Amino acid sequence: EPPIWTGQPIVLVGLMGAGKSTVGRRLATRLGLPFVDADSEIEIAAGMAVSEIFERFGEAHFRDGERRVIARLMDGERRVIATGGGAFVDPQTRAAILSNGFAIWLDAKPAVLVERVSRRDTRPLLRNRDPLAVLEELARVRNPFYATAHLRVSSHRAPHDATVNAILKALG
């Protein structure tokens, strides 16, 4: 039996290119809830882009900020939150999301994700690397964590509205 949504913050997790921000924004609109993008919140708090945080301070520093921002967003307010792809892999962040939120894994194969991420090159983990190879490796490492989300929804289908509809149906 799938777990039932009881109004917790809805937290979208999954790899880069899964559509977390786009699906999150549309889902929020359909539910009449506010939408928050965790990466944008981190950028506002830090006063610089995610790529610049990685460059100047490293990934560990970014994860610290991400952990703080997501903890703050788990305050019980009804909303939809898109997270960055690595957030749910951090043990503390994952624990906060699983206990105070309703986690939805947007699942898609690296071959599909790569089409979507190549439209934007602002992602530090993909810079100057073969995106398919990186995404395949991240899927191998991260999918076991994503699989602990409350709900798993395929985000293979375009457009993202199909994914939004699948989520709305599952939420009941």
Contact positions toward ligand S3P, by CB under 6 A?
16, 20, 39, 50, 84-86, 123-125
Nearer to ligand S3P, 4 or 95 (CB): 95
Query: Smallest distance, Å, CB 16 to ligand S3P?
Result: 4
CA 11 – CA 13 distance, rounded (Å): 6
Q: Which residue is nearest to ligand S3P (CB)?
A: 84
Query: Smallest distance, Å, CB 110 to ligand S3P?
Result: 12
How does strand 10-13 pair with strand 80-82? parallel
117 SS3 class: helix
Are 80 and 33 in contact, with CB atoms under 8 Å apart? Answer: yes
Are 136 and 89 in contact, with CB atoms under 8 Å apart? Answer: no
Nearer to ligand S3P, 2 or 58 (CB): 58
123 assigned to a ligand binding site = yes
Q: Distances from the Cα of 82 to the Cαs of 57, 73, 128, 133, in angstroms?
A: 23, 11, 25, 24
Nearer to ligand S3P, 20 or 94 (CB): 20
Residues making up the binding site for substrate: 39, 63, 85, 142
